[in-house]
A and B are shown apart, each in its own frame.
Chain A
Amino acid sequence: MYTKHQQRQHHCLWCLTPLDTHDFSFMIRHDYLCEDHQGVLITPIKSTMITNVKVHYFHEYTPQIASLLFRYKEHYDIPLAGCIFLPVIKSLKKWINHRPILIVPSSLKKTQQRGFIPLKRALSVCGLECIEALEKEGTQDQKKKSKHYRQTTQFRLNSNSDALCKSIVLIDDVCTTGHSLLTCAKLLESFGYHVECCVFAIHSSWINKYLV
């Protein structure tokens, strides 16, 4: 039940409209979201190919999803962490299958500015722990870079990677150009790990071109 990870809500976590509380509400799994947003956020896991790498995803990167992530990551609306992976926790856990979770890191400057790691918090709300084995080199904000400069972004493995086993999952929030995700995946593969990738939202161009 959701109550294991999430306190009972009387208002939709996303839009703050009051939720209908009836006698059987305790039996409903997702009663921290209104009906409209349940329809948006509860979705099965899907997959697509990004330059020969299979990437699993939950949502298309629509303006609605973009605004949710923007509010969470840039306005620091921390309770929205429960809107990211919690509505799809069942399929996510089934897909992860007890493998160690790595997240695509943000720059150190951005993390310090925020005071929290959005992906880590979104996973911890679901009771999932991630290992911060990857680090991003440089301090510039990703969204301020052009596509060309994004391709020069480098990542490295830190000492936390010693605890990893051979098969791991790599999770990111958004995949637009796909560069960060693929660079991290290739880096891990070069160290001999078997990597599977998953993102919360993916740009529509990846879905339409390479639908699996």
Chain B
Amino acid sequence: MPCPNCKAHHPDFFFHYQGNVICRQCLSVATLEPVSVTLPKEHLEDACLSFELTPKQKEVSKALKESSSRHIMLEAVCGAGKTECVLEFIIDRLNKKQKVGWAIPRRQVVLELCERLQKVIPQCTVIAVCEGYTQVLSADLVLFTTHQAFRYPQSFDVLILDEVDAFPYRGNALLEHLISQTYKRQCVMMSATIPYDLKKRMSMENWTHITCYERPTRHPLMVPQLIRTFRIMMFLKMIQLLPSEAKWLIFVPTHSMAKWISLLLRCDSLTSKSKEKESIIQRFISKDKALLVCTTILERGVTFKNVHVIVLMAHHHVFSEASLTQIAGRVGRSIEYPKGKVFFISSQDSEEVNACIQNINNANIIAYGA
């Protein structure tokens, strides 16, 4: 019989202890004391943004604030400014003395977003809770990886769940259960690539659905250029595409490939196994011209100015439709550099690649009618 909490059913996950069957996945969760989250001491002013929200963003922000439904799905294309849209909603709820948490599946995104939020809401204490950052657990606004949700059962009134379709949250029954236990009133789910099963649940349970297909740059999303070539020619094709200008992110499917290609190109590589992730990213940001070979670790939640993207072996099973859409969305995010280049280099025909290109074209048609 599967575990009622995490739905685990494999015998490896269970053992007998004093006449009871214990689920190992849930064990560490059940034995910890919940953390109590604080509220801001003073009334919060508007977010200190260095730019004004676009009319579309204001519309989304207003819709979020006014919505009282338990589940809200915010579907917005990559770089549409989801974070900025949610800020007013967060401030509004905090001012109403409701506790707010922000869950994100990726650690890297948690750390980056924490810095950004601390700057735009200076009156409010913002902390990141993730691997390596678990000393302070309570603040006015807590950003945490979905793996840390076990610390906050029923701790928040409102939960923002960013990147709902991202690994490792997606498809993990335990994490989904833990997240569902953290909030009492509302949950705002956000993503640019909502999976089919969630869309189905959304229509069945009548969730509020808010969309934003327009980027603040008013430029359409960059449509990836697909390059089909022989397997052995892929690397040479990539070299040919890399001019000496600007920054390039090279996405590869595996850790070992990232290591080898970074050695060949004499540049940094970033994978989940990299030890100094923050410093590698800082080095990449600080340079005008740079190459960074990475795995899907950088596919979402990160913003680089004037960056172009190459996906090597785009047909590889690691690159799903959502993943490729997110990767393409890294380009043209800043107002100064609203355009960029996206290349998918592939040796095989791939449904995921075709679906990604189709999706981006559709989003552009909805937003700009062209």
Contact = CB atoms under 8 A, between A and B. Distances in A.
A79 interface: yes
B10 A77 contact: no
A192 interface: no
Interface string B1-32: 00000000010110101100010110110010
Contacts of B10: 10-11
A16 B28 contact: no
A71 interface: yes
Contacts of B17: 76, 78, 115
A115 B27 contact: no
Contacts of A76: 17, 22, 27
Interface residues of B, number: 12
B12 A16 contact: yes
A75 B31 contact: yes
Nearest to A70: B28
A10 B12 contact: yes
Interface string A64-75: 000000010011
B15 A79 contact: yes
Contacts of A10: 10, 12
B254 to A, nearest CB: 14
A10 B31 CA distance: 26
A9 interface: yes
A26 to B, nearest CB: 17
A16 B13 CA distance: 7
B152 to A, nearest CB: 19
Contacts of A71: 27-28
A11 B10 CA distance: 9
A11 B18 CA distance: 24
A75 B28 contact: yes
Nearest to B12: A11
B351 to A, nearest CB: 25
Contact of A77 (B12, B18, B24): B24
Contact of A115 (B12, B18, B24, B25): B18
Contact of A9 (B12, B18, B22, B25): B12
Interface in A59-107: 71, 74-79
A16 B18 contact: no
A129 B18 CA distance: 22
Nearest to A10: B12
Contacts of B24: 16, 77, 79
A186 B18 CA distance: 36
Contacts of B12: 9-11, 16
Nearest to B29: A75
A11 B25 CA distance: 12
Given A16-B24, A77-B24, A11 B13 contact: yes
Choose among A9, A16, A71, A115 the residue with the greatest number of B CB atoms under 10 Å from its CB.
A16
A71 B27 CA distance: 9
A50 to B, nearest CB: 31
Contacts of B25: 16
Interface string A141-152: 000000000000
A78 B31 CA distance: 15
Nearest to A19: B12
A148 B27 CA distance: 34
A9 to B, nearest CB: 6
Contacts of B31: 74-75
Nearest to A9: B12
B324 to A, nearest CB: 25
A78 B20 CA distance: 13
Q: When A and B form their complex, which 9 residue pairs have the shortest distance between CB atoms, in order from nearest?
A: A11-B12, A79-B15, A75-B31, A78-B15, A77-B27, A115-B18, A75-B27, A9-B12, A10-B12
25 contacts: A9-B12, A10-B10, A10-B12, A11-B10, A11-B12, A11-B13, A16-B12, A16-B13, A16-B24, A16-B25, A71-B27, A71-B28, A74-B31, A75-B27, A75-B28, A76-B17, A76-B22, A76-B27, A77-B24, A77-B27, A77-B28, A78-B15, A79-B15, A115-B17, A115-B18
